[in-house]
Amino acid sequence: MRVASRVRSLAESSTLAAAARARALAAEGRPVLSLTAGEPDFTTPANIVEAAIAGLRAGLTHYAPTAGTPDARAAIASKLRRENGLACEASGVTITVGAKHALHLAMECLVEPGDEVLLPTPAWVSYDPLIRLAGGTVVEVPGEASRGYLVTAEDLERAITPRTRVLVLNSPSNPTGTMHSPDSIREIAAMLAGHPEITVVSDEIYEKLVYPEIDPAASFLSIGSCPEVADRTITINGMSKAFAMTGWRIGYAAAAGEGTEAIRAMIRLQGQMTNGIPTFLMPAIVEALERSADAVESMRKAFARRAALVAQRLAAMPGLQAPTPTCAFYAFTDLTAILGRTSPGGRLIEDGDGFAAALLEEALVGVVSGRDFGGPGRTAARFSFACGDDHLVEAFDRLETFLDGLR
């Protein structure tokens, strides 16, 4: 059977593939420690679970409106006004099958074939394929390791051409564990004032996972709150990370003012693709956004502790250079210092792929090769610390032994 070329050329999600490889070895009985997927180890807070169960018992078993129930959309709009400073109404919100689906809808609705999309790299692995599926041309704007892989407004402006239509921002960043300061976000918005044809897609799924304990300057600002781009920012977020709800598959996209037109287009497309998410999840969204702040804060504190642990362990490993993670749950390590060396099991380490494969097979520690994150990622690897502290300590012990054994 012939598979359409646009999908034939589509890469598998390498984060999911790395997680699956680690799981497959574990299923064979090997004691694998996985630092692959960015998935909180916590279970969803009980009040959120109860809200969904109560929804099922109350008979919320029929289709919901495509964009979500009025209550759930209003809860999201109110959260975005209260916490993020967006002038967003319920009509400017659509609830999607995870943030991934929201990003897919956004790209399909914003990008014409041949349009250029600016993507600061390293960037999460799914942006590039989703932009290409929509017919867009990815224009990478690589960040330098020495600046925490963060691009500046000037870097972005240099990459703009008459064909640029979209800028994808993901701060806090997967995979780098670094984030733009509020001033840096304001500078980007001010720069965009001179480029009214560009829409911003701001993926804010890690907004709650920020660690001022590690860097007192770490602080989050939604670019959609900046007046220069308030009407042309699509804000993407979801429940997966902050609320430990990856398996629930709940995300959303939101916009204010004229940007609402793009949300209406996304809802039309969604109505043909998936319709709404399960109806009994709608009360759980309200419960999460309005009555779960303490649970989110206690998970955030645990991630902050793990970020500090990872930073401390990496600092003692001169072969791996990473910016200190101050947000999200990733450390992105540059491997240049160990390239060309041979692993304890005799594998030549030439890039992130080789490093990740050797570490998994020899030390039974799963990480994600940096290659598919683009930019400087080919010679890097991503470590997720969304796992228990003991698991993390043992994985880093194994990593240290592996590095000590390099020849």
Q: Does 387 bind ligand GLU (CB under 6 A)?
A: no
**Rounded distance between C-alpha atoms, residue 360 and residue 366, angstroms:** 5
Cross-strand partners of 333: 381
- Residue 377 Cβ vs ligand GLU, minimum distance, rounded to whole Å: 13
Total binding residues for ligand GLU by CB under 6 A? 10
Binding partner of residue 25 among ligand GLU, ligand PMP, none, CB cut-off 5 to 8 Å per kind: none
Is residue 342 within 8 A of residue 348, CB to CB? The reply is yes
Is residue 223 within 8 A of residue 56, CB to CB? The reply is no
Sequential DSSP letters for 6-60: HHHTPPPPHHHHHHHHHHHHHHTT---EE--S---SSPPPHHHHHHHHHHHHTT-
**Rounded distance between C-alpha atoms, residue 84 and residue 101, angstroms:** 22
- Residue 175 Cβ vs ligand PMP, minimum distance, rounded to whole Å: 8
Binding partner of residue 372 among ligand GLU, ligand PMP, none, CB cut-off 5 to 8 Å per kind: none
Cα-to-chain-centroid distance, residue 11: 18
Total binding residues for ligand PMP by CB under 6 A? 13
**Rounded distance between C-alpha atoms, residue 193 and residue 201, angstroms:** 15
**Residues within window 46-105 making contact with ligand PMP, judged by CB under 6 A:** 98-100
- Residue 4 Cβ vs ligand PMP, minimum distance, rounded to whole Å: 23
Q: Does 34 bind ligand PMP (CB under 6 A)?
A: no
Binding partner of residue 319 among ligand GLU, ligand PMP, none, CB cut-off 5 to 8 Å per kind: none
Instruction: Compute how many other C-beta atoms are within 10 angstroms of the C-beta atom of residue 362.
Output: 17
**Main-chain dihedrals φ then ψ at residue 213, nearest 5 degrees:** -60, -30
Q: Whose Cβ is closer to ligand PMP: residue 97's or residue 256's?
A: 97
- Residue 256 Cβ vs ligand PMP, minimum distance, rounded to whole Å: 21
- Residue 97 Cβ vs ligand PMP, minimum distance, rounded to whole Å: 8
Piece of the chain touching ligand GLU by CB under 6 A; list 10-18, 22-30, 58-66, 261-269: 10-18
Binding partner of residue 232 among ligand GLU, ligand PMP, none, CB cut-off 5 to 8 Å per kind: none
Q: Does 184 bind ligand GLU (CB under 6 A)?
A: no
Q: Does 238 bind ligand PMP (CB under 6 A)?
A: yes
Tokens at residue 296, please? Answer: 């989110």
Whether residue 216 has a cis bond before it, omega within 30° of 0: no
- Residue 81 Cβ vs ligand PMP, minimum distance, rounded to whole Å: 21
Q: Does 251 bind ligand PMP (CB under 6 A)?
A: yes
- Give the 3-state secondary structure of residue 158: helix
Q: Whose Cβ is closer to ligand GLU: residue 40's or residue 259's?
A: 40
The angle formed by the CA atoms of residues 235, 45 and 102, to the nearest 5 degrees, is: 20
Q: Whose Cβ is closer to ligand GLU: residue 127's or residue 402's?
A: 127
**Rounded distance between C-alpha atoms, residue 314 and residue 399, angstroms:** 10
Binding partner of residue 203 among ligand GLU, ligand PMP, none, CB cut-off 5 to 8 Å per kind: ligand PMP
Placement of tokens 């070329």 in the chain: 5
Q: Does 37 bind ligand GLU (CB under 6 A)?
A: yes
The angle formed by the CA atoms of residues 141, 166 and 223, to the nearest 5 degrees, is: 85
Binding site for ligand PMP (CB under 6 A): 38, 98-100, 124, 170, 174, 203, 205, 238, 240, 246, 251
Binding site for ligand GLU (CB under 6 A): 13, 15-16, 37-39, 124-126, 174
